[in-house]
Amino acid sequence: MKALIIGSGLMGVTSAYFLSRGGWEVTVLDRQDGPGQETSFANGSLLTPSMPEPWNAPGSWRVLLKSLGRSDSPLKLRLKALPQLSGWGAGFVRNSSPSRFALNTVRNLRLALYSMEVLGNLRRETGIEYGGASRGSLRLIRDPQTLERALEWAQRLRAEGLIFRRLTPDEIVAREPVLAPIGGQLAGGIYYPVDEIGNACKFCVGLTELARRGGVEFRFRTPVTGIEVRQGSVTAVLSGDSRFTADRYVVAAGSYSPLLLKRLGLDVPVRPAKGYSLTFESPRLDPPFRLPVCDDDFHAVVVPLEGAIRVAGTAEFTGYDLSLPQARIRNLLRLVRQVLPSAGLERGQATPWCGLRPMSVDGVPIIGPTPIGNLWLNTGHGHLGWTLAAGSGKLLSDLLTGDSPRVDPDAYALARFAGPLAGRWTGRDG
């Protein structure tokens, strides 16, 4: 059996690797010069089963409305994006009810914990190196009431397998001494031992090489210009004058997946949510920075990488805009200085970046078949792409190869959506 995958980010590369191991002949197309060059390139670098919550938490629509005109809002809506969000935005709000939010959080957590298991097995079996570390993460909270609510929520998720430990400010500083200057500002925090760090782009490059050795063909600088559909099935994917055929086709093109599928009359409820990061090379910290930090008040993560520190945050609904506004860069610089005031981090050390996270309407990824017979999806992971990547690729492979998945595939199927969000197909051939 032959599979053709569109996209060589985290979802495309993991799908290709596991399908190849399942005996499939796999080709991957990507418009970039190499793997992991778009949203997987400089993300937050934190694998966080501890943060499985979708962004459409109860009341999030109020935050979005208040964000209009504010450059420092962690969840921001820009007016120019409103036409693209019609319909999808209503579904985003519907899925922010307490019951749906809780259900979707559990779905993400189950896939996240499974994904960490798959990733651990992959490391042991292949020796893949991507700057990974399994030290856990710290969640910093300054307000006592917020701390109690966070602990109550974590306790609810304990039944699903989330492990955590409450920490006092002194215990936080004992675990991560570099936080001593802000210890007095904290009400406390939570330590999550299951969380990990790693360079997602380096992982994509390493797994691509492993997949190549296993027979996967990667065709870079090959933008998809069309998808042929005849009698309800894909017959070819086009790139200029080139025509690629397979038995099954997988769209793993992140936020650009719905643009490719819209040409076919297939409506997939995924929209781009822009995120930013700053990477500081060769920071001088004594003691060294070891544990990744999620700061509740600043809605940002600060992560120690190999010879660098990365701060990432914000979700901005601004369409497919990849510009780097100076206001956002200044905001991230201000946040990291408040978390690590002794680091002496300067703008001149920092490399700014932004990427478009593919956000599904309910905050849960879409993995599995579409109404077009031989066309499959692996997209919609939002801010959890790195966390869910290994498990998502394995789940897709299991479904295509006929193996029994370890997680319930119905929870991530496109068919879970009702009415106008059901990924309906108009029957248009393209």
Going by their DSSP bridges, the two strands 2-6 and 25-29 should be labelled as: parallel
Q: Kindly tell me if the per-residue pLDDT of 96 is higher than 60.
A: yes
With left for phi above 0 and alpha for psi between -120 and 50, is residue 232 left, alpha or beta? left
pLDDT digits (tens, 9 = 90+) for 9-34: 999 999 999 999 999 999 999 999 99
Q: How far apart are CA 28 and CA 38, in angstroms?
A: 15
53 CB neighbour count, 10 Å cutoff: 18
pTM: 0.92
pLDDT digits (tens, 9 = 90+) for 361-409: 999 999 999 999 899 999 999 999 999 999 999 999 999 999 999 999 9
Domains and CATH numbers, the chain: 2-136+194-421 (3.50.50.60)
Going by their DSSP bridges, the two strands 293-295 and 300-305 should be labelled as: antiparallel
Sign of CA dihedral 324, 329, 332, 333: positive
Q: How far is CA 277 from CA 44, 163, 274, 300, 353, in A?
A: 7, 28, 10, 10, 5
Q: What is the mean pLDDT of the chain?
A: 90
Q: Kindly tell me if the per-residue pLDDT of 267 is higher than 80.
A: yes
With residues binned 3-state (H G I as helix, E B as strand, rest as coil), the percentages for the chain, rounded to 5, are 40, 25, 35
**Cis peptide bond N-terminal to 287, omega within 30:** yes
pLDDT digits (tens, 9 = 90+) for 171-227: 999 999 999 999 999 999 999 999 999 999 999 999 999 999 999 999 999 999 999
